[in-house]
Amino acid sequence: MTHVSHIPLDGTSNLRDLGWPIGGEGKTARPRRVLRSANLDRLSSEGRRDFAALGVGVVIDLRGLAEAAAAPDLPGTARVHLPIEPTVAAELRAHLAAGTLSVAVAASVMENSYRSYIVDYVEVFAGIFRHVLRAGERPVLFHCAAGKDRTGVAAALILTALGVEPSVIMEDYLLSNRLFRPLQSTIDLPDDVREAIVKVRPSYLEAAFAAMTETCGGPDKYLGQALGIGPRQRDALAEVFADAAP
């Protein structure tokens, strides 16, 4: 299945909606209803104009406190900061200093960070759902720095709650490898290690889902028990996203 609703915007990348088939009923999620992207700090004048045309009502920033210090004021849009503090760079620096850094180590660091998202940031993900459910008719956009890791997990949780097939959820996640344009890193890393953290891998998202199973018995139970997204909330979420059957 291929659904790529990429929205070019000057000054950011990886901007797209979650307009995938939902619920197994032949319906497609409403386009441009809920959006995901990399950070919006560097939007040009043209990018700001095009962003305004999207009509986004709420921007949810998932970056840590220092990362989000330069978050722009976007007129007409409410900004909500739900921080997930980054840990990957510090861990990679420690391995680099100790001489233990490798591609396998970098991948393990990434997988552990995804497990941490699920275990340590329950309130953040619950908050994302609350804002999506309260958004009314104006679109919601959520992002982190690159729009691929913290944002990728958030998107996977939303799509899971909508009943999207796991293979499609993974397809959406892996689109970041095509759509994210990385900036120059401040860490001097070997090229193969850099590739392991700039690109997303199936094992990273699989680590997040494994953590849901380890802590709650599976993604559906994690949604219900940890995030408070039970059948009633999932039905309400489907109404937010609902579009006519093709």
pLDDT at 1: 52
Place of tokens 């104006």: 138
For residues 74 and 51, give the distance between their C-alpha atoms in angstroms, rounded to a whole number.
9
Cα 126 to chain centroid, rounded = 14
- For residue 66, the domain's CATH number is 3.90.190.10
In a domain, 11, yes or no: no
In a domain, 3, yes or no: no
pLDDT at 246: 37
Report the Cα–Cα distance between both ends of the chain, in Å, rounded. 15
The DSSP secondary-structure symbol of 61 reads E
In a domain, 94, yes or no: yes
Q: How many Cα atoms occupy the beta-carbon half-sphere of 102 within 13 Å?
A: 3
* Number of other CB atoms surrounding residue 24 within 10 Å: 9
In a domain, 192, yes or no: yes
pLDDT at 245: 39
In a domain, 168, yes or no: yes
pTM for this predicted structure = 0.94
In a domain, 5, yes or no: no
Place of tokens 């009923």: 25
Place of tokens 């909500």: 80
Instruction: Choose between 157 and 246: higher pLDDT.
Output: 157
pLDDT at 116: 98
Q: How many domains does the chain have?
A: 1
